[in-house]
Each structure stands twice: as C-alpha cells, then as structure tokens.
Amino acid sequence: MERPVKESKNFLSFAGHLDKRVDLDKNIKHGDSRYYSALSVMAAKVAYENKAFVENAVRNHWKVNGVKSLKFYAATPYTDPSIHELINAYNCFCRWS
C-alpha cells in the first residue's frame, strides 16, 4: 500500500472523497443561465483541495486557462489586528445607521 502524497494533483481531502466529481456538466455551456451556478458549486467543492489538485481541475477538466492561484488563510480577530479594526468599524457604523 502506498502512502498518499498531500501535494499530489490526485490527492483528495476527506470532503473531496464524499463527492469525487471534478468535471463540469457537459450539457451546461457558457451563456446558459445555469452556467455560473454550476461553476460556483464546483469551485466551492475544490476550494478544500490542495493547489496541484485545483490547478489540474481548472486547467484540464474545466478547460480554463490563465487562472492565477492565490494563497489565503483564515484570519480571525484574534490573529489579525486589521480584521479586528474592520469589525469594530463595522459595528460602530451599524449602531449609527
């Protein structure tokens, strides 16, 4: 038995194993009213996967080129002071509007 490599384009998270589909629906084309909804669902699904998996899905399965990958992290008011300031400003604005 081989050990999975987390950086591999074939590695799936636990959530990815619940629904392994990667291809977009062939009946829904760009311009169809359901296109962006279907694309959003698939994008939300692969958001939990590693960078190599996402790039493979976008380029080879969805046939989208020129996509730049960005790295984000989950910031909380306790880890990022700018987020804390933003939340305070929002709370003050909501009290006065």
Q: Is residue 64 part of a domain?
A: yes
Q: Is residue 80 part of a domain?
A: no
| Total domains in the fold of the chain | 1
Q: Is residue 32 part of a domain?
A: yes
From the list 48, 55, 42, 43, the residue with the least C-alpha distance to 14 is 48
Q: Is residue 77 part of a domain?
A: no
Spatial separation of the C-alpha atoms in residues 39 and 63, rounded to whole Å:
12
pLDDT in tens, 31-84: 889 888 888 888 888 888 888 888 888 888 887 776 666 665 555 555 555 555
Q: Is residue 33 part of a domain?
A: yes
Domain span at residue 20? 14-68
Average pLDDT over residues 4-29: 88
Residue 97's pLDDT is what?
42
pTM equals 0.64
Q: Is residue 28 part of a domain?
A: yes
